[in-house]
Structure 1
Amino acid sequence: MKRYFVLGGVCLVAGFALNTCVRNLVLYESAPAYALAADNRLQKKSLKTFGEADGDELEEAMAPAPAQVAGGVVGGLLGGGGEGFGMRADAPGAPPPPPPPAPPAEAASTPGRAWFPETFLFEPLVVTDASGSASVPVKVPDRLTNWRVLALAHSRSGAQAGAVSSFAGTLPTYVDPVLPPFLRAGDVVRVPVQVVNTTGTPVTRPLKVEAQGAAVEGGSRTVTVPAAGSVVEYVTVRAAQPGPVTLRASLGGTDSVVRTFDVWPTGRPVARTHGGTLAAPRTLELTGPEDAVAGSERVRLLVFPGALGVLRAELSAASGRGGVAEDAYALLLAGRAPELLKSLGGTADAESLKHLSAIAGQRVLRAGRAPDVATAALLAEAALAHPDNPVLARLGERLSGQVATAQRPDGTCQGADGWTLQRLLVSTADCARAVRAGAGSDAGRRRASGFGARVAGAFERYASRVQDGYTAAAVLASGGVSGSVRDTLRKQVREAIQKRPDGSAFLPVGPGVVRSDGLVPSEAEATALAVLALVDDKEAPLADLGTSLLADYRPERGWGDGRANLVGLQAAIALFKEPLPAQVSVVLERDGKVVTEGTFDAKALREVLALEGAAAGSAGKHTWTVRAEPAVPGLGFSLTLGAYVPWRASEAGSGLELAVKGPSEVKVGMPAEVTVQAASPAGMALTLRQGLPAGVQVDRASLDALVNEGKVTSYEVEDGAVSLTLPPRGAAEPFSARFRVVPTLAGSLQAGASSLTLVERPELVFHVPPATWAVR
């Protein structure tokens, strides 16, 4: 008899989830195969029991079979393995889901079925005994479905075998409520509760449905289920307040099931945010709204582990952002990451960097075919950060040369009719950085030397006319000035810096000040530029500027657009180079009482730590304390106190307008149409987020049609909302579109607020208050 060993392991999955199990199998040297006995324990079985298989037979054995459910009706009603509406994705501002229930310790002490994983066993490496047998104990979850056992095996000589077995996890009679992943406060829904009888005789049992965190109407009755049949009963659930809900359905003494979901708050989200560094305990005064919706107050603490953590977060997020500046930033980040990670004590993931370089490189090559000077200045440094890539290196050299030849006799660069001197000087500073980046070759050094001499003369002539800190910082960060001119501009930047009540410092943006692209820079970008301008200035409040820099960082968007992220990351790396301790504890207190806490270990120090918790009773002014043990200057934090307040009159939208028309009355399972109309300044990409009621599913085909028509660039569907990215439009060109949805729950349901946001200015947003849908 040949000895076999499992190739990748053994999986036990719900029938429909086998593909996921197969995709996750990894090759290990040796492990056994298994069979499942009637007592739900994997018993020792010789691999000869499964039989030997060649490659074709093994592939056939791995092919997933259709899901089968006892009684033939559960899968059809509940879908898949009976988890109702599937897994939830959190909506922005919604409370996080509660942790999944842990597997029960003993069946006798379990108050009800509450553990419902789809895959509950994956054993990648278990070595067989001398006879080729092994045993693995397993506890079967509470999900009532057909379970499949996949075993793949190989011998040390390379022979392979595999098999798929199955068993039913069911009860003679059982109950299963169909629940959505969430509800909103104020929702009143009819929840279907299925009762299944797998026996050969009719069954009459008392049915009871009750809930904690919500009210149930009509939850007690007696039901009669025919032999080998099922019935569906309905109960009304009223979700009055936000928070977790635990619903229990019991069928006499035969079955009891416990399921949980969240009730999200309604109203307008408000937030108070402060930041700092954790060089010492930080005490902040935060004032929560007096009219906060009960149960909606939450606090979120983000802790950023210095430059290394920010760098890793940006490497993960950069490729998902769109735009020429964003592509240039991603390509520059990919080129410099290995050196930066090494200097900060980290290691580079070669495959991830290769992937990021390929994506960003293709986009930059496309944008660099026939660029104007402004685009060439933006792309040159990014392309030159890849000297080992001959295509990108030649592109960077060409772009740097194009910028150099665009320099005027007076030393300035770019400019057009209607430009202010302030914008011209900032644009010249951008050009100086691009030309200096191309100084790696002899020709590039000669070019940079001549360009630098002329640009220094231009900055010296116009230094007395620099009226704001942002422009002075841009000129300093370009490296184009020295001596007394540099000292004068540094003083101007220092004097322009302002302090916040929490001790952090920032560089404000004065009226009429713009970047080289004509857009108004954010305070976060100006602060980062101030750090680069003053990084070796002993009189500068660098620690306080660093506090604002880290507090303004958001993992999903960095410091803003590509230009802001470029200077933001450079500033963070310049400030926070010291290695962090192997372990740091972070504690958040309100009025002396711990609200939440967490720990960085050696591995987690490379990531952003996010701590979140309920903050009921935060109305009015309270004292919040954030401390690190031990104190670490390189740790920055951002503390946000959020809540929902009742909607007031329509808000001013800073040039943004949004109108939403949903169906006034619809039926379960019947398509309905949603119409959205938007208006905004010309030439700006938008994000339109349409709030949807619980249980409403979006017809993706209608969204694909909008993409094909060019009305929508892309879309993203999540529980409770759909987000549309709208391309820039011309002047006086409104946006109008329709898409279909299908409700799956009956009742009175809150749709959630909708919003319209500028992609490049996410702080500018227009909200549409939520509407109520009547679903029959």
Structure 2
Amino acid sequence: MVERILFPGVVLLALTACFGSSAPEPEIQGGRPASPAMSMDADGYADEAPPPARPPGAARMRSEEAKMAARAKPRRAAAMAEAADEAMAEPALGADDEGGGGEPAAVRSWFPDAFLWEPVVVTSDDGVATVDVRVPDSLTDWRVLGLAHDRTGQQAGALTGFATRIPVAADPRLPSFLFVGDELALPVRATNGTDDTLAITVDVEASGGLSGGGTASVRLGPRGTGVPTVGVRATERGRAVVRIAAQGGGHLDRSERTLRVTPTGRPLETVAQGVLQAETTVAPPVLEGTSGTDTLEIVVFPGPLALVSAELDRLASGARTAIPGGALSVIDHLLTLSERTGAQVDEPRLRRMKLLAWQQIAQRRTTGWLEDVALLRGMSTRDLVGGAEATRPQRVRRIVDAQKDDGTWSSASRSTLQRVLVETAMAAMVLPGSERGPRLKAEGAVERQIPLIEDAYTAAVLLGSGVLHGEAAQPARTRLREAIGHDADGVPSITVPDGVVDAWGDRPSHAEMLAWTVLALADDPEATEDRGKLATALMASWSRSRGFGAGRADPVAMLAVVDAIPGASAATKVTLVKGGQVVSVGTVDPAQPGVPLLLETTGADATVRLDPPVDGLAYTATRRGWVPWEEPAPIPGFEWTWTDADPLVVGQPAAVGVQLAAPRGIAVTMELGIPAGMTVDAGALASQPLVAWSEVLEDRVRFRTRPMPGTGGGTVELQVTPGFAGRFGSVPVQLDVAGQARVLPGRVWTVKGA
């Protein structure tokens, strides 16, 4: 079944699904059906169930050792805690009533698209190694890649594959999300893998957050497929389960899939962060009027790589960033930390994020050298995207040309010394090493003003940016150290001084103050302990909804965390307790530095216990709830409406318009929700004359118009293709018109069957 690499030495093995390819031999009869492994939950985290235990069954690939590859994704506690051990269970890839010895068919429920990553397999002296694996519940073609080398540096490789098949199968095509009240005509793909014509009966059972189901029948020719539909309805928030049973010709197939159902209403959330002790009560601030819909989500970070991975997931899910292309600096940190720890990198995800970041940079019109500073700070130090890198020399030249004769930078005709010093530090920080002259001029200008530096924020920026260093930096270090306070337990803290502004004239956030302080204390041996605790507090301030909340300083905050946090020193068991009962259990392991632990429960608070206690574990807890919508105040002079011409039909392209009316010269920013499975032509949207910028995500579309023409209005058209029939809710509509923001109920979409 597997080609041998007769090569004494070390072998790397990778096993992934080949979707859409022809089936390589050999074929494993009794295999399990294929579907993308990672189903995104309503909040954007991947929810990958571990392989369930199976009775002895058909297919094995033998070995002495096997470990499931850990993805750099948050693990759901309890379910993932013993995944590695369960992965070793010998699989039963299929059983039917005729050939299963009287045993019922196993329930298929594990559907990853890649399930083996063995970077170090040591062969015997004759160059042979075997690896035990549990083949997932997927009817698909699998690719096995083996790369080998010996102690002398000789290399070899082999690529082979196998297919998993069963005589009769049925798989539901589930949307990635639903809202309470959604009605779905659930398509179920039935497959006849035999050479006979079969009458296949498909039974659908829905539970948890879904109700409904039923039975459908389809007659299929040899090797044929059909797609009957069965109606289900999303009735309550939380986890929903769909169970499928297909029978025909004496064969039986059973499978199970899950998805999450999100509440409807106006979303509210509060966040709490901190550092975990042996026992910590986690209680984000109260939400008013949520009527028991609250959920509590706690993310525990074993180290900076886990935080970087979570931030990249946040950006990939459509989170806004104050700096176009800011994901590039996050990718840079991810690559650096992965190289340092040996963690696996999800290359396809990185490619998608690089492309998205480059699109954001290309679509952003630079208005001055200060925006160039922000863009360069958000870009990587590596050449991650050629197009983005091509703009770097031009941006650097604009910054250098803007430097004043005295060595400073200032974007305003009239400014304060404090802001000028911060702008100068920002500009000097992003200059490459080849621009030594402008940087030396900036350092000289800053040193001349040392006696006039009166606040801790400016001192931290000058020190953290590197524009102030050596003996000349000692007065600023002293001023910063004096500004750090300590509570009764010796925990350090620092606040933003009154009257200071950042380079853009805005008051700095607390996260930005923390970030610059952590960077500034890097070379201060007297502040090593305080620096570590402040860095942990900064890491704990991150949340999945807003990142660090530092705006343009988010890249600085991430840099500070990566630079200062070493990560957990030992593995610890993390237990979530509510009302005296254990809700879930997971493990934070320094051997998996890119895997944050996700704990979830309902209600307002919970207790987290560590066994054994370890230092430096930061957490962020998010409490979410939903309240009924209220009629928002209108925006003066602005109106909008949907302009659909015809009913939407599943699988058929259609035009959906948004008619806008606003005063001349006003630009409008909108975010519109789309239902699960609907595709939007991103190119057609971006090419419209009224659209200045646009972005298409899985569950929403965003765009910003150009200033309204003399007529004071226009239409933005979405070219859509619905993927499911039924009635669907969507995320709230968000508007921004000349700085006036509104959040409105999402559209309810009705899609007819074909």
The alignment of Structure 1 onto Structure 2 pairs a total of residues equal to 675
Q: CA deviation at 1:274?
A: 0.9
Alpha-carbon contact 2:206-2:243 (below 8 Å) kept: yes
Residue by residue, what CA displacement relative to the aligned partner does 1:248-275 show, whole Å, maximum 9, x if unpaired? Answer: 3454875353332324123233222111
- Is residue 167 of structure 2 the alignment partner of residue 189 of structure 1? no
1:219 counterpart SS class: strand
Deviation (angstroms), 1:637: 1.6
Match of 2:684 among 684, 694, 705: 705
Per-residue CA shift, 1:742-767, capped at 9, x if unaligned?
A: 33433333234334589xx9x98734
Does residue 451 (structure 1) correspond to residue 432 (structure 2)? The answer is no
Unpaired stretches in structure 1, ≥5 consecutive residues: 23-33, 42-80
What does residue 631 of structure 1 align with? 613
What amino acid maps onto 1:93 in structure 2? D
SS at match of 2:21: helix
- C-alpha deviations, 1:590-644, integer Å up to 9, x for none? 344333333233322x32513132x23x15xx4x333444434433221222233
Map 1:597-676 to 2 at 5 A.
597-604=585-592, 606-613=593-600, 615-616=601-602, 618-619=603-604, 622=605, 624-650=606-632, 665-676=647-658
How far off its partner does 1:531 sit? 4.2
Aligned residue number for residue 594 of structure 1: 582
Give the counterpart letter for 1:609 in structure 2: P
After TM superposition, list the pairs within 5 Å mapping 1:493-642 onto structure 2: 493-494=483-484, 505=493, 507-508=495-496, 514-532=501-519, 536=524, 545-554=534-543, 559=548, 563-572=552-561, 575-576=564-565, 580-604=568-592, 606-613=593-600, 615-616=601-602, 618-619=603-604, 622=605, 624-642=606-624
Residue equivalent to 1:238: 233
Contact in 1 for aligned 2:570/2:614 (Cα 8 Å): no
Deviation at 1:737, TM superposition (A): 1.8
Distance, in Å, in 1 between the alignment partners of 2:671 and 2:159 is 48
* Residue among 401, 404, 407 paired with 1:406: 404
Q: Deviations over 1:677-730 (max 9, x none)?
A: 679999999985432234x42143xx2122234726453442xx1343548868
Q: Classify the secondary structure of the residue corresponding to 2:301.
A: strand
Please tell me whether residue 274 in structure 1 is matched to residue 272 in structure 2. Answer: yes
Q: How far apart, CA to CA, are the structure 1 residues paired with 2:547 and 2:16?
A: 39
Partner residue in 1 for 2:262? 265
Preserved CA contact (<8 Å) 2:378 2:555: no
Tell me the CA shift for residue 557 of structure 1: 7.5
CA RMSD of aligned residues (A): 6.6
Shift of residue 528 of structure 1?
2.2
Hey, what's the Cα distance between the residues in 2 that align with 1:18 and 1:250? 25
What is the CA–CA distance in structure 2 between the aligned matches of 1:507 and 1:329, rounded to whole Å?
Answer: 28
CA distance in 2 between counterparts of 1:658 and 1:509 reads 43
- Is the 1:6–1:151 contact (alpha carbons within 8 Å) kept by the matching residues of 2? no
Q: Is the 8 A contact 2:306 2:595 kept in 1?
A: yes
Aligned partner of 2:184: which letter?
V
AA in 2 matched with 1:414: S
Partner of 1:99: 49
Relative to structure 1, is the Cα distance of residues 135 and 690 closer, same or farther in structure 2, using a 3 angstrom cutoff? same
Match of 2:242, SS state, is strand
AA in 2 matched with 1:773:
T
Name the CA shift for 1:697/1:327 in 2 (closer, same or farther; >3 Å).
Answer: closer
Q: Residue deviations 1:218-246, cap 9 Å, x none?
A: 8368x685887888765432321122122
Matched, 1:18 2:18: no
Residues 185, 241 of structure 1: 8 Å contact kept: yes
The within-5 A match list for 1:251-400 is 251=247, 254-267=251-264, 268-278=266-276, 281-286=279-284, 289=287, 292=290, 297-306=294-303, 374=370
Aligned to 1:67: none
Which string of whole-angstrom CA distances, capped at 9 and with x for unpartnered residues, describes residues 649-696 of structure 1? Answer: 3379999998656678433333333334679999999985432234x4
* Aligned partner of residue 20 in structure 2, secondary structure: helix
**1:739: which partner in 2?**
718
Q: 2: CA distance between counterparts of 1:220 and 1:415?
A: 69
Alpha carbons of structure 1 residues 739 and 585: separation in structure 2 relative to 1, 3 Å: same
Partner SS, residue 626 of structure 2? strand
Per-residue deviation at 1:186? 1.2
Q: Are the structure 2 counterparts of residues 317 and 739 from structure 1 closer, same or farther at C-alpha, using a change threshold of 3 Å?
A: closer
Give, in angstroms, the shift of residue 123 of structure 1.
11
1:111–1:632 Cα change, 3 Å:
same
1:564 Cα deviation after fit: 0.9
Structure 1 pair 590–140 and aligned structure 2 pair: CA distance change class (3 A)? closer
Question: Residues 537-588 of structure 1: CA distance to partner in whole angstroms, max 9, x if unpaired?
Answer: 76997676445411223579753578413432454366545x6413233333
Question: CA 1:582–1:648 in structure 2 vs 1: closer, same or farther (change >3 Å)?
Answer: same
In 2, distance between residues paired with 1:9 and 1:152? 6
1:773 alignment partner in structure 2: 750
Query: 1:722-761 residue pairs with structure 2 within 5 A?
Result: 722-724=700-702, 726=704, 736-755=715-734
CA change 1:735–1:494 in 2 (3 A) is farther
Q: How far does residue 773 in structure 1 lie from its aligned partner after superposition?
A: 2.4
Are residues 484 and 454 of structure 1, via their aligned partners in 2, closer, same or farther at CA, if it must alter by over 3 Å?
Answer: closer
Q: Distance between the aligned counterparts of 1:225 and 1:360, measured in 2?
A: 45
1:114 alignment partner in structure 2 = 108
1:427 paired with 2:443, answer no
> Which residue does 1:51 correspond to in 2?
none
Q: Aligned-pair distance for 1:406?
A: 0.9
2:685 match: secondary structure: helix
Task: Indicate the structure (1 or 2) with the bigger Cα radius of gyration.
Answer: 1
Structure 2: tracts of 5 or more residues without a match = 57-94, 383-389
Query: Which amino acid in structure 1 is aligned with residue 49 of structure 2?
Result: P
Give the AA of the match of 1:406: K
More helix, by proportion: 1
